[in-house]
A and B are shown apart, each in its own frame.
Chain A
């Protein structure tokens, strides 16, 4: 019961914050709403007993990505009125509707397997052995690491002084 109340509160907060991100004119406040949305999603992870995932969600999305977004906003003009010369409303609307439709269709068509077992007590160990253990996803992890390294080198190459 308490978990249901918590879920509904978090879900409403997350959706309201997500709507605020796209509707607010003030870009800075939109970024703050994005942080609120990330926090609510982390709360939903906690309800699902995915404690490690929740901490990583806060650490990466709130602590790093949102802060970088805010730093980038500081480098732009017209923070309080948003972009004044934007003519991309129609293409963005079409692609957003298409994306929303695809995701909803995929979610409704997937047969979600429900497990009645209580979740594992410590998810950290299970996650680590899945990611780095034998017949785990070590190749995927390595590919992601190389991708990130390539991005960093690319960024350094672009900003390097001649």
Chain B
């Protein structure tokens, strides 16, 4: 299968682990599937604890601190509580679709991790279409959310699911356009080579506007505040998982956190230099960057209020999309006409371009008759 095989020559100077470590194809597959599952489940538990504690600090309260030292065992207690709850299915819902929806929502998100390099050569499959695979497979998760919303036979969950799909379709375009900037500089779709191309300068400096767009877009795709309209508690009670309980709710919740982990890991890989860093071992650097991105997301959650659905849509189409197109134009001009320019000059130019563009675009960007100031 060509899609699973690797080209050993293209990054031989980077590779520490052989492509089929530790032995043959099937052993590699089993070992890395277990690693990815363990990574996602454990990181989700730690993220839940971290988010609740950090939100507590931001809102000048304590957060969960009763179960175990610093409340560290609180997520485990929550999971046990969820697993022992009664599993209810709405009487007039579509039972098969209701049962399938959490799986369809969770499996594609889990599959994203197959191509994310935890350290040099340590990944399940180094696809040469890596980032395209991620974009494609993450769009399937919306089908799971939609199935959950529709099968519940509940108007609030259906509205939540419709919002999720509308947001996904809108924000996918700026996200993909900002990824294309990274791909243009690297000249490859493979995530291993994208990390390898950032040995000197991480792409957050070379592509500051691209990072900004990708960051905002992934906040919207993973339904985090200020884009958490899908489950907006004050209007939709809980959104698409309103009828779910017990293990199925736990799976949907897990899928949501797995998506945040995947987005943090993707931002680490695409813009922050992946597992590269001085002194510490690569896997530690990878985890530090993932946790830093996640804490930034939590910081934004505690700072910015939720937007209205029309504001969210207008923001995607009138603000992010034009800026992503301009960013793509600037990047391709630099790649085509100025390939041997000093990277620091490009960094300076792109930072200036980002500040000028964001400030000037916000001048004539209006929402609901009111001007938005940055």
Q: Which A residues lie at the B interface, using CB under 8 A?
A: 3, 26, 28-29, 32, 35, 39, 46-47, 49, 51-52, 54-56, 58-59, 62-64, 66-68, 70-71, 74, 80, 118-119, 121-122, 124
Asked if B146 contacts A67 (CB within 8 A), the reply is yes
Bound Cα distance A39, B158 (Å):
25
Asked if B1 contacts A32 (CB within 8 A), the reply is no
The 7 A-B residue pairs with the shortest CB-CB distance, nearest first, are A63-B139, A49-B2, A59-B136, A51-B3, A58-B136, A55-B136, A55-B132
Q: State which of B36-44, B165-173, B240-248, B335-343 sits at the interface with chain A.
A: B165-173
Asked if B97 contacts A32 (CB within 8 A), the reply is yes
Closest residue of A by beta carbon distance from B5: A121
Which of B139, B162, B166 is close to A62, meaning CB atoms less than 8 Å apart? B139
Give 16 A-B contacts (CB < 8 Å), ordered by A residue: A28-B94, A29-B94, A32-B97, A35-B143, A51-B128, A55-B129, A55-B135, A58-B139, A62-B140, A67-B143, A67-B168, A67-B169, A71-B162, A74-B150, A74-B158, A124-B128
Which chain B residues lie closer than 8 Å to A49 at the CB level?
1-3
Bound Cα distance A71, B166 (Å):
9
Which chain B residues lie closer than 8 Å to A3 at the CB level?
1
B260 at the interface (CB under 8 A from A): no
Interface centre among A3, A63, A64, A70 (most CB of B within 10 A): A63
Bound Cα distance A63, B169 (Å):
8
**Contact indicator per residue, chain B 134-152, by CB within 8 Å of chain A (1) or not (0):** 0111011011001100100
**Contact indicator per residue, chain B 115-132, by CB within 8 Å of chain A (1) or not (0):** 000000000000111001
**Contact indicator per residue, chain B 1-15, by CB within 8 Å of chain A (1) or not (0):** 111010100000000
Bound Cα distance A51, B3 (Å):
6
Bound Cα distance A17, B44 (Å):
34
Chain B residues within 8 Å of chain A by Cβ, number = 31
Contacts A47-B1, A121-B2 hold; do A62 and B133 have CB atoms under 8 A apart?
A: no
Contacts A28-B94, A121-B7 hold; do A66 and B136 have CB atoms under 8 A apart?
A: no
Which chain B residues lie closer than 8 Å to A26 at the CB level?
94
Contacts A32-B97, A47-B1, A49-B1 hold; do A66 and B143 have CB atoms under 8 A apart?
A: yes
Asked if B94 contacts A63 (CB within 8 A), the reply is no
Closest residue of B by beta carbon distance from A38: B140
**A24: shortest Cβ distance to chain B, in Å?**
11
Asked if B136 contacts A63 (CB within 8 A), the reply is yes
Contacts A51-B129, A121-B7, A124-B129 hold; do A58 and B1 have CB atoms under 8 A apart?
A: no
Which chain A residues lie closer than 8 Å to B140 at the CB level?
39, 58, 62-63
Interface centre among B94, B133, B140, B142 (most CB of A within 10 A): B140
Which chain B residues lie closer than 8 Å to A62 at the CB level?
136, 139-140, 143
Which chain A residues lie closer than 8 Å to B191 at the CB level?
none
B189 at the interface (CB under 8 A from A): yes
Bound Cα distance A99, B142 (Å):
33
Asked if A28 contacts B1 (CB within 8 A), the reply is no
Which chain B residues lie closer than 8 Å to A39 at the CB level?
140
Closest residue of A by beta carbon distance from B3: A51
Contacts A63-B172, A121-B128 hold; do A28 and B139 have CB atoms under 8 A apart?
A: no
Which chain A residues lie closer than 8 Å to B129 at the CB level?
51-52, 55, 124
Interface centre among B96, B136, B166, B169 (most CB of A within 10 A): B136
Bound Cα distance A162, B94 (Å):
41
Which chain B residues lie closer than 8 Å to A121 at the CB level?
2, 5, 7, 128
Which chain B residues lie closer than 8 Å to A70 at the CB level?
143, 146, 165
Name the interface residues of B153-167: CB closer than 8 Å to any CB of A: 158, 162, 165-166
Asked if B7 contacts A58 (CB within 8 A), the reply is no
Bound Cα distance A25, B139 (Å):
27
Which chain A residues lie closer than 8 Å to B7 at the CB level?
121-122
**B189: shortest Cβ distance to chain A, in Å?**
6
